[in-house]
Amino acid sequence: MTTPSEPATDLGLFDAVVNLCKRRGFVFPSAEIYGGIRSTYDYGPLGALMLRNIREAWWRAMIQERDDVVPLDAAILTNPKVWEASGHLATFTDPLVDCRKCKERWRADQIENTCPNCGSSDLTEARPFNLMFKTFVGPVEEESSVAYLRPETAQGMFVNYLNIETTMRRKPPFGIAQIGRAFRNEITPGNFVFRTREFEMMELEFFVPPTDSGRWQQYWCEERLSWYKRYGIAPEKLRLRPHEAEELSHYSSGTTDVEFLFPWGWGELEGIANRTDFDLRAHQEHSGTSLEHFDQASGERYLPHVVEPAAGATRAMMAFLLAAYDEDEIGGERRAVLRLHPRIAPYQVAVLPLSKKDTLSPLAREVLHRLQRHLMCEYDETQSIGRRYRRQDEIGTPFCVTVDFDSLEDQQVTVRERDSTNQTRMAIDDLVSHLLGRLDI
Ligand code: GAP
């Protein structure tokens, strides 16, 4: 596995994970039977399960385990006035250049004055290209019916700030958290699901008194870094990197990224930005609605400042898969194994009757039904038990429960662990509590 001291180009790992994703039903090219649509992906059964687990792990840490954050689920289609106020219509752009020779288009800041496709240096001047997807609401395609697909979920939280402060009886410091799809017309999507035009975000807007924003930004950097470690990424593959001044988004006075060591080098997983009062001030001015908070204790009115940890769920999935992929040898046989955290793995348990004989199926199915009430399970009775273990290892299932002929007599089953391959015999009655106890490693 790659470590920071090794050259950061483990493209064999990248290919192995991309290949596994397709072969085992994690990620498919979208509409593949029609030739796909560039850099757009569908999440197959295992990908859908894993993405859901990532969302839940984030939700647990950011909402469920706290008392100062509330959730929101805002619309994707947004009134253009929101993007005018937020500055996205004017400044959410990338510099675009065209190669005059091969007609490819590139982000000017990602190339060195020559076209990566044909090597020509006959490039156009860079011009700003807005990344927002535009559409029309209603039957008439005219300027007054323009709407945008959100390029970030954040604005939904700013424009609902007042609704939430009032209905939930909150005062700063408190946060609004949201998970959902976002859309950006990226010029150069790529590296599998690392950069796509449709992706999923997990964002928190944390509203604080203006003088407290530095302290809270530090706090959220540490919290977010430890979340990735909690769910299984090794500390040496993670780092915090403060942005240089010229990298900052138009709304940020300071941003620190959580970065992961991808096979091609360090890359952003999440940005923790100090958005100051930029957004609330802009929406206050454009809407004419006061968004100030009145602090009863001090008698002061102020616009809260915002610290924003903004993560990509689909990008996090890729990092979790890359960090978990391993190959080892069991009994002289090579195996590929995803050492995923049990809460992130698509299935937590596989129930495997030792043989397909009718005598074992009723008990195996009874065990399955007991476990299914608590855990995501797979049932598999085809092929040899060794091949079935290998298959579960490769998709990251942390526990296999094997029902054998002795189980019919003693009401016990064998629990096999993915990482160590150790096997333990235990009573069926103890299975649920044992496995639930093993989820948080
Ligand atoms: N509201 C702040 C914001 O949107 P961002 O850094 O542009 O910040 C946050 O995006 C996160 O969303 C990134 O750290 C990354 O994980 C993910 N992300 C951004 N653009 C993406 C893309 N085109 N494809 C996949 N994930 C993306």
Q: What's the rounded Cα separation, in Å, for the pair 342 and 361?
A: 26
Q: What is the mean pLDDT of residues 70-98?
A: 95
Give the pLDDT confidence score for residue 4 in this predicted structure: 36
173, 96, 178, 82: which is closest to 130 by C-alpha?
96
Q: What's the rounded Cα separation, in Å, for the pair 205 and 74?
A: 13
What is the residue whose two structure tokens read 């189980």?
407
Give the pLDDT confidence score for residue 11 in this predicted structure: 76
pLDDT category, 312, cuts 50, 70, 90?
A: very high
Residue located nearest, by CA, to atom 12 of ligand 1: 312
Is any ligand 1 atom within 6 A of the Cβ of residue 157? no
Q: What is the mean pLDDT of residues 252-281?
A: 97
Token pair in block for residue 84: 């005018």
Of ligand 1's listed atoms, the one at least distance from the Cα of 153 is 1
Is any ligand 1 atom within 6 A of the Cβ of residue 154? yes
Sequence-distant (6+) residues with CB within 8 A of 308 are 154, 203, 204, 205, 206, 271, 272, 273, 274, 275
Least confident of 31-35, 235-239, 284-288: 31-35
CB 400 within 8 A of CB 368: no
Residue located nearest, by CA, to atom 22 of ligand 1: 195
Give the pLDDT confidence score for residue 358 in this predicted structure: 84
Give the pLDDT confidence score for residue 3 in this predicted structure: 37
**pLDDT tens, residue by residue, 109-148:** 889 889 999 999 999 999 999 999 999 999 999 999 999 9
Q: What's the rounded Cα separation, in Å, for the pair 97 and 279?
A: 30
Is any ligand 1 atom within 6 A of the Cβ of residue 312? yes
**pLDDT tens, residue by residue, 208-239:** 999 999 999 999 999 999 999 999 999 999 99
What are the DSSP calls for 319-339, one per residue? HHHHHHEEEEEETTEEEEEE-
Q: How far apart are the CA of 356 and the centre of ligand 1, in A?
A: 47
Is any ligand 1 atom within 6 A of the Cβ of residue 203? yes
User: To the nearest 10°, the Cα dihedral for 33, 198, 189, 269?
Assistant: -130
Q: What is the C-alpha radius of gyration for the chain, rounded to an integer number of angstroms?
A: 25
Burial 208-228 (b: 16+ CB within 10 A, else e): bbeeebeebbebbbeebbebb
Residue 20 zone, left/alpha/beta (φ > 0; ψ -120 to 50; rest): alpha
pLDDT over 60 (residue 26):
yes
Residue located nearest, by CA, to atom 16 of ligand 1: 312
Give the pLDDT confidence score for residue 9 in this predicted structure: 56
Q: What is the mean pLDDT of residues 65-82?
A: 96
CB 68 within 8 A of CB 103: no
CB 261 within 8 A of CB 2: yes
Residue located nearest, by CA, to atom 7 of ligand 1: 152
Is any ligand 1 atom within 6 A of the Cβ of residue 269? yes
Give the pLDDT confidence score for residue 16 in this predicted structure: 96
The 10 Å Cβ neighbour count of residue 126 is 15
Q: How far apart are the CA of 311 and the centre of ligand 1, in A?
A: 6
Of ligand 1's listed atoms, the one at least distance from the Cα of 189 is 23
Q: pTM of the predicted model, to two decimals?
A: 0.94
Q: Which residues pair with 71 in a beta bridge?
A: 177
Q: How far apart are the CA of 306 and the centre of ligand 1, in A?
A: 17
Of ligand 1's listed atoms, the one at least distance from the Cα of 197 is 23
Is any ligand 1 atom within 6 A of the Cβ of residue 151? no
